[in-house]
Structure 1
Amino acid sequence: MSAPILPSSTQVAKNSPNLQQHFQTRKLRDLSPSGNHMITTCAKWRAMVMAGMLLSRCFCDIGIFQTSTRRVPSSSDFHVGQENEHDDYRHLGTVRDHYRPGVLYAPNMGNCNLGVLLSTFNPGILRNSQPVSGPKWKFPNGLIIERFINGRLSSEKWREYGPVYRLWSGLRPEIVITTPKDFKNFSSDANDHGKPHNMNLGWFIGESLGQCLGFHNGQSWMRMRNVFGPTFTHSAAVACLDMVHEGAKAYVDKLPQLAANPSFNTDGRVPFLLSVADGFTKIPYFLTARVIYGAMTATEEDELWRITQIRSSLTPYFFIGIPYRSALATRLFDRGAIARLREFEREWTDFHRTIVHKRRAEGGPRPPILGYWEEFESGNITLPELLQTIDELLILNLDVITHVISWCISLVAEHEAVKHELCEEITAHQDDLPAYIAKSDTHLHRCLAESMRIQPFTIFTPGEYSNQVKNFDGILVKPGVRPLLLFHASPTLTHPSPKTQILLDVLAINVRNPYWGSDSTFFRPSRFIGLKPSELRYNVHNFGIGSRKCMGQYVGMHIVKALVVNLFDTYEVKLADESEIKVDKSGWTPKAGGFLKLARK
């Protein structure tokens, strides 16, 4: 059963206070999204932030020691501030209200001296390497915001530093590569790549997701992949296709109920408007959930969505940086954030205990959640590993799959010739639509591939490290950073030395790459006709590299294609504003925004 229509995660109130007034009076609100504290002077703010950074994270970020307290299973909804045409950070909700370069963080303080020190003593490259340039380190978080939240603009801006350049995540260096040649070089040992501790983002994300599959390395990663991987293989995804297709069809039939314009016919015969971002947020989420939990009742879906909203409101803490990079600083500055995380952990745990109990009592087909739970009960995985991996699969990827769906639908709707060819192809495969959805040699598949090429869900990949020195035209990237000798005598203060993270600029590979020709910025699905996987391997990036490619890629692509097929088969689809596709920046990855104009065929 499908759940009743609820507001999506992008529908949040826009009534946060204007922090510019606080800046003008030099009474700056605390960084905390909970907004419970007031720092009355810039001097006091600077002193406390510097103290917190130097005492609680400087050592961690350069590899001296690391806190590792972790638990699984919080939280008030956050509000998006008023739109400001000069504000490039407005699309991350609360982050926009609490991070304004040059306003709240006083980025000029210590930039020069500390940036020079970092470049000298923790450059991320070997001493005999060619020098590497890049944007300057910014107080206090490096370039986290620019990389994650404003990636497309930053990618264009940072081209001036050449094909290989350096960014900073906190105090840690990150090396960015931009060419197919370097992509191939980096991928040569891809199966042995690892992820840096807490993705170089600090304590709060580690406390929330640090035990999930994507954060593990080596044998630990293999152990967990063997538990969760079988649910998401290609053959398993194909076996779920009938369920995915029927779920997508049922949802598309009910789209008139989501109409943005109040006066319309409920049968959809009269054209109606549908928000692109809001209209396709919940359905991919619940289709993925059904793969894990089996068929769900409306009550179960309602409860899952309620808890998901709690968890989604924690996401801004992952990217804000200080104080959330440090356990000590978070406890000092924003205990409310920790309380909301613990609230989520409790509810997330209770939900899964209840689901497992009900599925065992029901008998019948065994959904994967029962197998996962039995692995926990046998001691093969821990409860945090189980729950945080499901969080990774469902909640963390909610914005990702919504991004992919919204852009694919909007780009097809915008291009009449592409849309006409797709509708004809769908009509020709009416006898077996699930089998058609599974194919990879169709116009449908090329539409999806092309939309992901020009609108990747992340501009900079989640970084990985190599255990080998990587040589990018003389720039020799370190495979590790040694802890300071002062702390070697105490095993309690040392930890495995962090690796230099290497990122891929996806926009450079997917769009600016000469391989794609002079029309690389245009949506032209036919460009994929006749291209072999071997030709595409280092000229397009979608789901990662090597054995660590996104585990849910097959299920995710089937869900997207099932929704596209049923939408264009059922309705005449046009953009409400035919002059351009709007962009919805309410999540951590920008989705296609604006409205579709739909009329049932």
Structure 2
Amino acid sequence: MFNLVLCLIVVSATAVWGTRRFNVLSHVSTAYLRLRYPIKTVDGRETLPTLPFEWPNGQGNVEKYLHGRENSSKWGAEYGPLYRIWSGFHGEIVLTRPADIETVFRDSHTHLKANANDSGHYMHQLLGICLGLISGSEWRLLRKATEAPFTRTATATYVQTVLDHAKQHIASLCETKPKKWQLQPYADLRIYPFLALADLLYGKLSPPLKTQLLEIIPGRDSVFAHMMMGGVTRYKWAKYLPINANREMDDFKKSWGQWNDNAHAEAVKKAEKGEPVPIVQMYASIAEGNGSREALLQTLDEMLFANLHPRLDVSIGALAWSFVFIAANPRIQTRLLSELKSAYVDEATRDSYLLSQSNYLHFILLEAGRLRPVAAFSVAQACPTQRQLGPYILPAGSKFVVDAHALNVRDPLWGPDNTMFRPERWAEGGVKRAKDVRYCYWRFGFGPRVCLGKYVVDLMMKALIVELVKGWEVKLEHEKGGDWEWDQDTWALPQDMRIACVKREY
């Protein structure tokens, strides 16, 4: 009994000591960073509102991404429309107003992405030199090596392949329940974009390659979790520590590199038979000097595994929310079904419909992306020259992030029904013109650095939506049945939410 009490005392004392030590380190770091990196008004009298540094990660990555939705409102209410956060020891200025975003992004082609997204050395090992996080000549070379399969023209050739994937995926979910089944938004959609994109990049995978690829996922998930939590792994010297995070990183990188080499070897055989396979061209382009092998592997990682993190609401999150909004709005589902019946006349009309950016199906994706953007805050990037935003002078090299929730939902352009899911708004008045929402809407980014895979991602999401809605009536239910009471302010998908799918009778 005495030993138990003693242990409890030691644990409690250690916790109190650790908390106080972290508080001291946070206060000292805050004072130093504000003194070292001052941002003042034109007259020098006022300082840009800045969050205190929280040891050891500042406000990134957990606070900026995993808790980004709630922090968007919280920080905005406390610090105003322009303020600074810390990602590690790097300051990032948060933009919430279209006018400020236009001032910053008018020359976005000259911007420099933050090194490893200001997430530290562990992130650098994982994705630090992928296409989305590099700049300048390195970016141009790697883009040249990887962009061919993602152009709008190339995407048009994938329609049947993507539709086949969508049909197969839905069939796998309902094969034992032909009349009614329940879709679990995240769990049931997680693997669809991953495998569909893998087949586009590497050619149709053989069963052994597919199995090996799926076996890599748990290790990659664990590595990504270490990176998101930050701490000691932020620092370069941490790679010498005998910790699990380092061993898991080494294991993942070895298995990922070997799998890609195996997949490439298999793809070469397909190419010799006349089948164009993007990975073959990518490897050849790297061999010609357009980037490094490591940069290509990280970019392929970025393309594929980015789809597998529902907590960050990337492709799966966007797809899941589209289904939720459709299921929550019978009127919208009815209108979409009517449009689908008109569009599916023949193959050419079908393909044109799925690739269009001016129909109700596309407006559903735009509206879902508006209300539930893929991430709360954008990747940090730096302006090469000084900027003035309001009364504040931002030095050259200042890093900026866009608050997607402030822009997509809270901006007056979207009022007065800004929190409502209403796809029709994209065909009304000025909102239908791209230039009117250029700096009021964040989905794939701004300027020449927009997401490389935007056309392919949209096609994959549309294909699955179409294949489900054509065959099944969908509505929200609790896990054990009964209607789900939908609330427009629901931001995180509840664990017990299901989408009931009932076979349509024609």
Partner amino acid, structure 2, of 1:108: N
Identify which of 56, 64, 72 aligns with 1:140: 56
How far did 1:392 drift? Answer: 0.7
Aligned to 1:436: 353
The 1-side partners of 2:494 and 2:198 are apart by 23
Aligned to 2:499: 596
Aligned to 2:450: 549
Partner amino acid, structure 1, of 2:402: L
Aligned to 2:370: 453
Q: Determine if contact 1:122/1:172 at 8 Å carries over to the other structure.
A: no
Partner amino acid, structure 2, of 1:558: L
Instruction: Say how many residue pairs are matched.
Output: 479
Aligned to 2:276: 366
Match status 1:305 vs 2:221: no
Aligned to 2:130: 212
Q: Determine if contact 1:124/1:175 at 8 Å carries over to the other structure.
A: no
Aligned to 2:178: 268
How far did 1:385 drift? Answer: 1.0
Match status 1:517 vs 2:415: yes
Aligned to 1:579: 484
How far did 1:110 drift? Answer: 3.0
Partner amino acid, structure 2, of 1:184: E
How far did 1:126 drift? Answer: 8.2
Structure 1 window deviating more from structure 2 (516-525 vs 248-257): it is: 248-257
Identify which of 190, 195, 199 aligns with 1:286: 195
Q: Determine if contact 2:370/2:408 at 8 Å carries over to the other structure.
A: yes
Q: How does 1:64-213 map to 2 (within 5 A)?
A: 107-123=22-38, 130-144=46-60, 145-159=62-76, 160-213=78-131
How far did 1:591 drift? Answer: 5.8
How far did 1:514 drift? Answer: 0.4
Identify which of 238, 243, 256 aligns with 1:329: 238
The 2-side partners of 1:591 and 1:299 are apart by 34
The 2-side partners of 1:367 and 1:416 are apart by 41
The 2-side partners of 1:428 and 1:383 are apart by 47
Q: Taking structure 2 as the reference length, what is the TM-score of the superposition?
A: 0.89
Q: Deviation digits for residues 54-84 of structure 1, max 9, x if unmatched?
A: xxxxxxxxxxxxxxxxxxxxxxxxxxxxxxx
Q: Secondary structure at the match of 1:598?
A: strand
The 2-side partners of 1:168 and 1:430 are apart by 50
Q: Determine if contact 1:457/1:590 at 8 Å carries over to the other structure.
A: no
How far did 1:582 drift? Answer: 9.8
Q: Determine if contact 2:98/2:407 at 8 Å carries over to the other structure.
A: yes
The 2-side partners of 1:22 and 1:591 are apart by 43
Structure 1 window deviating more from structure 2 (125-134 vs 358-367): it is: 125-134
Seen in structure 2, the aligned counterparts of structure 1 residues 128 and 523 have a Cα distance that, compared at 3 Å, is: same
Match status 1:383 vs 2:281: no
Seen in structure 2, the aligned counterparts of structure 1 residues 312 and 128 have a Cα distance that, compared at 3 Å, is: farther
Partner amino acid, structure 1, of 2:461: V
Identify which of 313, 319, 336 aligns with 2:228: 319
The 2-side partners of 1:539 and 1:197 are apart by 26
Seen in structure 2, the aligned counterparts of structure 1 residues 248 and 330 have a Cα distance that, compared at 3 Å, is: same
Q: Deviation digits for residues 193-225 of structure 1, max 9, x if unmatched?
A: 111111111000001111211121101111111
Q: Secondary structure at the match of 2:183?
A: strand
Partner amino acid, structure 1, of 2:372: Q
Q: Any stretches of 5+ residues in structure 2 without a counterpart?
A: none
Aligned to 2:406: 508
How far did 1:563 drift? Answer: 0.5
Partner amino acid, structure 1, of 2:211: D
Match status 1:342 vs 2:273: no
Seen in structure 2, the aligned counterparts of structure 1 residues 566 and 125 have a Cα distance that, compared at 3 Å, is: farther
How far did 1:576 drift? Answer: 1.2
Partner amino acid, structure 1, of 2:115: H
The 2-side partners of 1:125 and 1:439 are apart by 47
The 2-side partners of 1:24 and 1:517 are apart by 54
Partner amino acid, structure 2, of 1:351: W
How far did 1:165 drift? Answer: 0.4
Seen in structure 2, the aligned counterparts of structure 1 residues 295 and 165 have a Cα distance that, compared at 3 Å, is: same
Q: How does 1:390-429 map to 2 (within 5 A)?
A: 390-399=300-309, 400-429=314-343
Q: Secondary structure at the match of 2:233?
A: coil
The 1-side partners of 2:298 and 2:7 are apart by 38
Q: Deviation digits for residues 82-124 of structure 1, max 9, x if unmatched?
A: xxxxxxxxxxxxxxxxxxxx6xx96422333321221111235
Partner amino acid, structure 2, of 1:287: A
Seen in structure 2, the aligned counterparts of structure 1 residues 175 and 395 have a Cα distance that, compared at 3 Å, is: same
Seen in structure 2, the aligned counterparts of structure 1 residues 598 and 23 have a Cα distance that, compared at 3 Å, is: farther
Seen in structure 2, the aligned counterparts of structure 1 residues 557 and 132 have a Cα distance that, compared at 3 Å, is: same
Q: Determine if contact 1:124/1:173 at 8 Å carries over to the other structure.
A: no
Q: Secondary structure at the match of 1:579?
A: coil
Partner amino acid, structure 2, of 1:579: W
The 2-side partners of 1:524 and 1:26 are apart by 57
The 2-side partners of 1:453 and 1:151 are apart by 15
How far did 1:532 drift? Answer: 0.4
Seen in structure 2, the aligned counterparts of structure 1 residues 128 and 304 have a Cα distance that, compared at 3 Å, is: farther
Partner amino acid, structure 1, of 2:321: W
Q: Determine if contact 2:174/2:181 at 8 Å carries over to the other structure.
A: yes
How far did 1:125 drift? Answer: 5.9
Q: Determine if contact 1:454/1:511 at 8 Å carries over to the other structure.
A: yes
Q: Secondary structure at the match of 1:211?
A: coil
Partner amino acid, structure 2, of 1:149: L
More helix as a share of residues: 2
Seen in structure 2, the aligned counterparts of structure 1 residues 295 and 217 have a Cα distance that, compared at 3 Å, is: same
The 1-side partners of 2:226 and 2:10 are apart by 24
The 1-side partners of 2:267 and 2:354 are apart by 30
Q: Deviation digits for residues 380-431 of structure 1, max 9, x if unmatched?
A: 3221011111001111233311011000001111011111111111111122
The 1-side partners of 2:8 and 2:96 are apart by 41
Seen in structure 2, the aligned counterparts of structure 1 residues 379 and 189 have a Cα distance that, compared at 3 Å, is: closer
Identify which of 383, 387, 391 aligns with 1:474: 391
The 2-side partners of 1:289 and 1:553 are apart by 16
Partner amino acid, structure 2, of 1:292: L
The 2-side partners of 1:23 and 1:508 are apart by 48
Partner amino acid, structure 2, of 1:294: G
